[in-house]
Structures are given as structure tokens and as C-alpha cells.
Amino acid sequence: GQQLNQSPQSMFIQEGEDVSMNCTSSSIFNTWLWYKQDPGEGPVLLIALYKAGELTSNGRLTAQFGITRKDSFLNISASIPSDVGIYFCAGQHINNFNKFYFGSGTKLNVKP
Amino acid sequence: DGGITQSPKYLFRKEGQNVTLSCEQNLNHDAMYWYRQDPGQGLRLIYYSQIVNDFQKGDIAEGYSVSREKKESFPLTVTSAQKNPTAFYLCASERGAAQPQHFGDGTRLSIL
């Protein structure tokens, strides 16, 4: 099936630092989503992207839909302890509107 | 409040037993999905349903069954044929094609 490569797998950062993570695909996507999952809970939608080149912010979070339509980036500025969790990207292929493909997640740890 | 409710939060299965996981949504969403999440992996699609009385297999449907008799309900049965059922199961719903999916809080299934 479709593969999404998400990196890095995990990050250990100091409170106040900025964070970047990304997802790449071998296929063209028409939608990119970014989710955050806390332990034992379901993923919560952070940002949705629908157009190539689109840059969208949600508070300290900024995500971009890559120009090639094969990648997406998520940045978190001035990290705080509650940013701890697993961040997932999800993409919808241009030929299949019925399914989202998910990356394997980036586990973020923030040291106070 | 509108949302997706999964129950139970924790479930234990005995050898040879079928168990059913509940998923109910009051968002009036047409599409519903079941995913399986294993540690360090992305979400894998088990089954999905775009409309009532219709559903399709996802990438890992073997050993699972579903029904969609009502718009708001999409129960998942883990049958005895599923030899490795221990995982975190997530239900999601979606307003329409290319719209973001919203998740419940999951059910953790373990083997006794």
C-alpha cells in the first residue's frame, strides 16, 4: 500500500526550542493533515492543508503543503511541556478520496 | 457536545472469543472508519463505510467484521480468526470526501 515516510521518529528538545518534522510520499496527494495524539487517546486534528504551497498556522504551529504535492512540513515554535505527544501526518491520494494514509508518527519530548 | 464515542475503553479477549467494539457518532457524518494502531506504527485501515448498509475492506480486514445499520453507529467485531488482536483500535468519522477525519478516544484490546 501507499507509504508515508515521516521523520524524525522521535525528538528530545528543550522547552522554548523550535521543532520541525516532515512527511514525504512517493505519490501526489491532494490533502495533507496533521494530528497530535496524547497517550491513551485518539488523534486530534491540528491543521488541514488543501493546496500546493499552502501555509497555515494554528497558534504556535505552522504547516505547509509542499509545492511538489509529495510532502508536508509541521513546525512548532517556542515549544512548551504540553507539546509532548506523537504527531502524525496523513495524506489523501489524488486518485482515492475514500482513504487517508498515515505516517508512523514523530514522538516529541520536551524537557522543562 | 458533538463527537465520537468509543466503548469500552479497555477490553480483554479470551482465546477463541469474538469481541465487539462500539463506535457511535452524533456529528451526522456519512463516512466512518476503523483503524488499528500498534506501537511505533502509523494507523492501518481495517474497514470503512461511506453510507449506511455499505462498507469496504481496508488494508488489514482479515479477522475483523463490521456492520453499518445506522448512520451514527459502526461496530467492529474482532473474531477468533484474528490471531494477533492486541492493539489500540481507533474509530473515525468524516463529513465527506477529502474532509478531515475526526477520531474517538480509542479502545485498547488485550488477550487474557
- Cβ of B11 under 8 Å from any chain A Cβ? no
pLDDT at B2 over 90: no
pLDDT in tens, B72-109: 999 999 999 888 999 999 999 998 877 889 999 999 99
- Cβ of B13 under 8 Å from any chain A Cβ? no
For residue A83, report the phi and psi dihedrals to the nearest 5 degrees: -75, -10
Q: For chain B, give the percent of residues with pLDDT over 70.
A: 98
Q: Which residues of A touch B43 (CB under 8 A)?
A: 43, 88, 90, 102
Of A40, A98, A102, Cβ closest to residue B50 = A98
Pick the closest to residue B92 from B77, B105, B78, B102 (CA basis): B102
Pick the closest to residue B23 from B87, B63, B70, B61 (CA basis): B70
Q: How far is CA B58 from CA A77, B36, B46, B47, B87, in A?
A: 36, 11, 5, 5, 17
pLDDT in tens, B15-65: 889 999 999 999 999 999 999 999 878 899 999 999 999 999 999 999 999
Pairing of the two strands B10-13 and B107-111: parallel
Among B21, B29, B43, pick the best mutation site for testing chain A contact (most A Cβ within 10 A): B43
Of A30, A31, A103, Cβ closest to residue B42 = A103
Q: Mind listing the pLDDT tens digit of every residue in chain A (112 residues)?
A: 567 899 999 999 999 999 999 999 988 999 999 999 998 899 999 999 999 999 999 999 999 999 999 999 999 999 999 999 999 999 998 777 778 899 999 999 999 8
Of A40, A41, A100, Cβ closest to residue B101 = A100
Residue of B nearest to A31 (CA): B98
Cβ-Cβ contacts under 8 Å for A96 (sequence gap 6 or more): none
Between chains, do A45 and B56 touch, taking CB under 8 Å as contact? no
> If you ran DSSP here, which 8-state letter would residue A69 be given?
S
Q: Give B1's pLDDT tier (boundaries 50, 70, 90).
A: low
The CA distance from A56 to the nearest CA of chain B, in Å, is: 15
